[in-house]
């Protein structure tokens, strides 16, 4: 691995040598052509000042609105496939997709339903408001991606980077209306998918304007659920799969089960009452109704194809994101003052198949011949945050930024688990078949002071130092009950999420109710940043950065296990605390707290350059980095039931390189590309990190992660290339041909590949399109995944779960935990836009 990294560092050194040589030769050459090309470079505000990407001594990538349209990007994962050093684990719309930067990974490839933080390794901003949402990329000026900790520039703390969605603001220079429509079909789908929307801008007064957009997406999906039971608890989920009649009598197929219908919109009002004051109020709304998971059971115990998932019940999920934001900017002369206030709400309401977890607990659920279980889950998160920032504007060698940040978040969730028919089968009096119920509530308060001071020692040499003071307090409460076996307490009723939220807030404010478990954590500290840059010439900038990142801890949201009782066959889907016994042996004592995980921290060292070559026709940027990761939050599993959790390991590291560039070959043809290599691994023994099982049966086993083990979730190598050719037509219109290819290497699903973890194969996806541009209107024909590549993006479970149990009638019961997430097959579509002026 060390030799591999040396080889890649040598590649950066070679690229740097070429850049230095070319810059030295052309340093005094500036032509009108190069001025025009430089003007095309995207201007960003990532450093809180409007600057060209090439003039910022940080590792930053920006994708402009025209490029988003040109490449047909719909979601963040589309964008990040062409950004070096960062990747998204595509698990479909239902799960939430972890964002992994420079190998820093917490969530793994398959854990977590309804994930609403992207894994927490990056901070995501919508405008000036920190908010994680997989936003549809409509009416955006650009998307900015910063790699490396950014806690001295941004209010929200960042462990490894920041992503900013920059929406187009209302404009004062006229009225516009843009409409768009799209139709496409997956090669594995039974029907077409559609999209449609519009964006308008209305100037009311010379200093008052509104802007809005509305988009409706109706995605057919492409995953079939071939074995959904005809009636839960009545028909057999495991018929004789070789007998079509028996299959038809018990189960049925749902085609294109992972459908997604999304409504997204934005309405913004901008007012400039005085020349020095500018304010924008915006309401964002996005609601997705998702039919099921984007997975494949081709590796499981039941017969299934590449795009078939063997779930026994439908798994719909409804995810709603809302944000109300007020952004004010005041030009004070010596500095610009910005206030960003946001209130957001996240709602998640879904159902999932819970059968596999329950039969793997080995409490004889599988003995019921028609056993099928499902869970109904709800989550709501309310978040208020405020950020004040002052940025210097005076001329001279000194510049500075100072800011304050406050965040207040409540999270409420519940999970109700039903086992239809099972209570009557075993003789319990439980007509509603409610087998398990949990509710969870947490309260987070977070604040920070941050800032940077920069000084130009000479015209070419600059130094910046930054700091951050942070503090947070987190309290969480959880109730767990097993009403199938115990009396059902009055306060544990399956009520609506709003009523439950109000009840939890009032009850927990008064103290912990009987049976409620409470966890809490708090922390405070400081972070540091140092950056120095040297402008070798007008076309070559070098920089070196040392920066620290930080991420808060949180609850795993799992109820605490009851005290161990050898005479009681207790439920095991729970979390242990230190010193708690969990088995019959004296040594079966937990040494870790599975209810929560604590903060982690990174220190990032980075050396890089940015260059402009060939009279401005080529840009070439590269960086090498090394990251020390202290107390890393990593994916693991509980001792009881192997539920997915996060735990803190002792240490890890990541090192690698990133290269990206653009080349205007001629006035008609341009190419851009990127390459990254990352090596992320443990630096110390991590006891009990990897959760697995030991067949026959499903007894939980925790394996140690070893010093040097490669971390899961991200590839070591990634590259992408995208080319555009523009052909002028005799009628004055243009025909543009686009082609892109993004490739990533193999990915581990378990740390060090332990516990029978699956190593996902490397894959590459090619896209192509042709755009006819008539000025006011455009028509695009495109094909995504041109070569119809079948590729797996994530894993749930391992092949060790591929076991067959037996029910009371002697029939087979197939355990189906093991499946993979898959990417979309070939997709062919047409897109049309029209601009009214």
pLDDT per residue as tens digits for the range 406-447: 999 999 999 999 999 999 999 888 888 998 888 889 999 999
Q: Picking from 21-35, 143-157, 300-314, 419-433, which range would have the lowest pLDDT averaged per residue?
A: 21-35
How much is the mean pLDDT over the chain?
A: 88
State both tokens at 775. 């000025």
472-508: pLDDT as tens digits: 999 988 887 888 765 444 434 444 545 555 555 555 4
Distance of CA 658 to the CA centre of its chain: 21
Residue that wins the pLDDT comparison between 244 and 588: 244
Kindly state the average pLDDT of the residues 718-724. 95
**Radius of gyration over every alpha carbon of the chain, rounded to an integer in angstroms:** 27
pLDDT band at 51 (very low <50, low <70, confident <90, very high): confident
Kindly state the average pLDDT of the residues 553-575. 77
- DSSP of 117-171, one letter per residue? STTSSEEEEETTEE--------SEEEEEEEES--TTT-SS--SSEEEEEEEPPP-
Q: Do the beta carbons of residue 519 and residue 479 sit within 8 Å?
A: no
Q: Do the beta carbons of residue 610 and residue 54 sit within 8 Å?
A: yes
Name the 3-class secondary structure at 644. Answer: strand
pLDDT band at 618 (very low <50, low <70, confident <90, very high): very high
| End-to-end Cα spacing for the chain | 58
Q: Do the beta carbons of residue 619 and residue 661 sit within 8 Å?
A: yes
Write down the pLDDT at residue 484: 79
90-107: pLDDT as tens digits: 888 887 788 889 998 766
Q: Is the pLDDT of residue 330 over 60?
A: yes
pLDDT band at 238 (very low <50, low <70, confident <90, very high): very high
Write down the pLDDT at residue 18: 43
CA torsion through residues 645, 646, 652, 656, sign: positive
Q: Do the beta carbons of residue 299 and residue 820 sit within 8 Å?
A: yes
136-159: pLDDT as tens digits: 889 999 999 999 998 999 888 888
pLDDT band at 27 (very low <50, low <70, confident <90, very high): very low
Write down the pLDDT at residue 343: 97
How many angstroms separate the CA atoms of 764 and 746, rounded?
Answer: 11
pLDDT band at 795 (very low <50, low <70, confident <90, very high): very high
In angstroms, the Cα distances linking 359 to 197, 365, 600, 698, 807 are 46, 6, 35, 9, 11
Q: How long, in residues, is the chain?
A: 837
How many angstroms separate the CA atoms of 322 and 471, rounded?
Answer: 26
Helix or strand (DSSP H, E) at 390: strand 374-392
Residue that wins the pLDDT comparison between 252 and 482: 252
How many angstroms separate the CA atoms of 310 and 445, rounded?
Answer: 42
Where are any strands of DSSP class E within 683-788?
A: 686-693, 700-705, 717-728, 734-744, 747-748, 759-760, 763-773, 777-784
Write down the pLDDT at residue 568: 66
Write down the pLDDT at residue 409: 95
Kindly state the average pLDDT of the residues 546-555. 93
Express as a percent the part of the chain with pLDDT over 90: 67
387-412: pLDDT as tens digits: 999 999 998 899 999 999 999 999 99
Q: Do the beta carbons of residue 230 and residue 247 sit within 8 Å?
A: no
How many angstroms separate the CA atoms of 112 and 132, rounded?
Answer: 16
Q: At a CB cut-off of 8 Å and minimum separation 6, what does 585 contact?
A: none
743-766: pLDDT as tens digits: 999 999 999 999 999 999 999 999
Express as a percent the part of the chain with pLDDT over 70: 89
pLDDT band at 114 (very low <50, low <70, confident <90, very high): low
621-647: pLDDT as tens digits: 999 999 999 999 998 988 888 888 899
Closest CA to 186 of 590, 742, 784: 784
pTM comes to 0.91
How many angstroms separate the CA atoms of 240 and 243, rounded?
Answer: 5
In terms of phi and psi (left: phi > 0; alpha: psi -120 to 50; beta: otherwise), the region of 333 is left
Instruction: Tally Cβ neighbours within 10 Å of residue 106.
Output: 24
- Report whether the peptide linkage leading into residue 476 is cis, meaning its omega lies within 30 degrees of zero: no
Write down the pLDDT at residue 376: 95
pLDDT band at 700 (very low <50, low <70, confident <90, very high): confident
Q: At a CB cut-off of 8 Å and minimum separation 6, what does 126 contact?
A: 133, 135, 165, 167, 284, 323, 325
Q: Which residues pair with 811 in a beta bridge?
A: none
Write down the pLDDT at residue 70: 77
pLDDT band at 46 (very low <50, low <70, confident <90, very high): confident
Residue that wins the pLDDT comparison between 506 and 275: 275
Write down the pLDDT at residue 268: 98
């Amino acid at each position: 691995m060390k030799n591999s990294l040396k080889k890649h560092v040598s590649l950066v050194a070679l690229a740097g040598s070429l850049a230095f040589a070319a810059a030295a030769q052309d340093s005094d050459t500036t032509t009108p052509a190069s001025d025009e090309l430089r003007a095309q470079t995207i201007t960003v505000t990532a450093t809180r000042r409007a600057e060209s990407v090439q003039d910022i001594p940080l590792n930053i990538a920006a994708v402009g609105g025209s490029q988003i349209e040109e490449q047909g990007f719909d979601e963040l994962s589309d964008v990040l496939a062409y950004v070096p050093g960062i990747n998204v684990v595509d698990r479909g719309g239902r799960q939430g997709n972890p964002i992994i930067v420079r190998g820093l990974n917490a969530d793994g490839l398959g854990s977590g339903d309804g994930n609403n933080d992207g894994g927490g390794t990056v901070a995501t901003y919508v405008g000036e408001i920190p908010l994680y949402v997989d936003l549809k990329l409509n009416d955006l000026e650009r998307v900015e991606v910063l790699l490396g900790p950014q806690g001295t520039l941004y209010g929200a703390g960042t462990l490894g980077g920041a992503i900013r969605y920059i929406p187009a603001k209302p404009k004062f220079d006229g009225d516009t209306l843009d409409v768009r429509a799209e139709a496409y079909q997956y090669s594995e789908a039974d029907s077409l998918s559609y999209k449609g929307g519009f964006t308008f801008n209305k100037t009311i007064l010379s200093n008052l304007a509104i802007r809005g957009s509305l988009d409706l997406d109706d995605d057919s999906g492409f995953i079939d659920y071939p074995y959904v039971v005809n009636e839960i608890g009545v028909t057999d989920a495991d018929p004789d799969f070789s007998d079509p009649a028996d299959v038809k009598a018990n189960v049925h197929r749902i085609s294109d089960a992972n459908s997604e219908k999304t409504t997204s919109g934005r309405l913004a009002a901008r007012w400039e009452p005085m020349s020095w004051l500018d304010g924008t109020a915006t309401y964002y709304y996005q609601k997705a109704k998702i039919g099921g998971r984007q997975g494949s059971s081709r590796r499981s115990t039941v017969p299934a194809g590449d795009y078939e998932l063997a779930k026994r019940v439908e798994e719909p999920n409804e995810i709603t994101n809302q944000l109300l934001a007020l952004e004010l900017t005041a030009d004070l002369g010596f500095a610009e003052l910005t206030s960003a206030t946001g209130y957001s709400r996240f709602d998640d309401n879904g159902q999932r198949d819970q059968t596999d977890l329950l039969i793997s607990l080995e409490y004889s659920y599988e003995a019921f011949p028609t056993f099928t279980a499902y869970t109904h889950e709800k989550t709501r998160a309310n978040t208020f945050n405020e950020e004040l920032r002052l940025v210097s504007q005076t001329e001279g060698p000194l510049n500075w930024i100072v800011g304050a940040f406050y965040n207040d978040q409540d999270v409420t969730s519940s999970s109700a688990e039903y086992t239809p028919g099972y209570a009557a089968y075993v003789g319990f009096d439980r007509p509603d078949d409610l087998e398990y119920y949990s509710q969870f509530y947490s309260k987070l308060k977070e604040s920070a002071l941050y800032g940077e001071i920069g000084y130009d020692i000479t015209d070419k040499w600059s130094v910046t130092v930054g700091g951050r003071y942070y503090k947070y307090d987190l309290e969480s409460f959880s109730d767990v009950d097993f009403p199938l076996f115990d009396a059902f307490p009055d306060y544990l009723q399956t009520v609506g999420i709003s009523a439950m939220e109000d009840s939890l807030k009032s009850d927990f404010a008064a103290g912990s109710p009987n049976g409620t478990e409470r966890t809490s954590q708090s922390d405070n500290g400081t972070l540091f940043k140092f950056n120095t840059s040297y402008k070798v010439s007008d076309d070559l900038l070098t920089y070196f950065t040392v920066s620290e990142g930080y991420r808060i801890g949180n609850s795993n949201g799992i109820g605490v296990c009851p005290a161990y009782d050898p005479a009681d066959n207790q439920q095991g889907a729970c979390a242990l605390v230190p010193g708690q016994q969990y088995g019959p042996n004296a040594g079966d004592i937990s040494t870790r707290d599975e209810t929560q995980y604590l903060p982690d921290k990174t220190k990032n060292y980075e050396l890089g350059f940015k260059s402009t070559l060939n009279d401005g026709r080529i840009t070439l940027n590269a960086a090498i980095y090394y990251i020390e990761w202290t107390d890393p939050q990593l994916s693991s599993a509980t001792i009881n039931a192997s539920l997915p959790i996060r735990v803190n390991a002792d240490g890890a590291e990541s090192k690698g390189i990133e290269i990206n560039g653009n080349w205007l070959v001629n006035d008609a043809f341009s190419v851009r590309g990127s390459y990254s290599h990352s090596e992320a691994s443990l630096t110390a023994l991590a006891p009990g990190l990897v959760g697995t099982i030991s067949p026959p049966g499903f007894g939980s086993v925790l394996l140690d992660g070893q010093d040097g083990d490669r971390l899961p979730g991200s590839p070591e190598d990634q590259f992408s290339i995208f080319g555009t050719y523009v052909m002028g037509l005799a009628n004055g219109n243009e025909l543009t041909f686009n082609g892109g290819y993004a490739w990533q290497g193999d990915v581990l699903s378990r740390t060090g590949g332990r516990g029978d973890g699956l190593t996902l194969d490397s894959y590459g996806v090619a896209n192509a399109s042709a755009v006819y541009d008539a000025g006011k209107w455009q028509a695009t024909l495109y094909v995504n995944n041109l070569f119809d590549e079948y590729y797996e993006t994530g894993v749930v479970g391992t092949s060790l779960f591929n076991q067959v149990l037996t029910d009371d009638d002697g029939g087979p019961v197939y355990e189906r935990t093991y499946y993979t997430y898959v990417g979309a097959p070939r997709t062919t579509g047409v897109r049309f836009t029209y601009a009214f002026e």
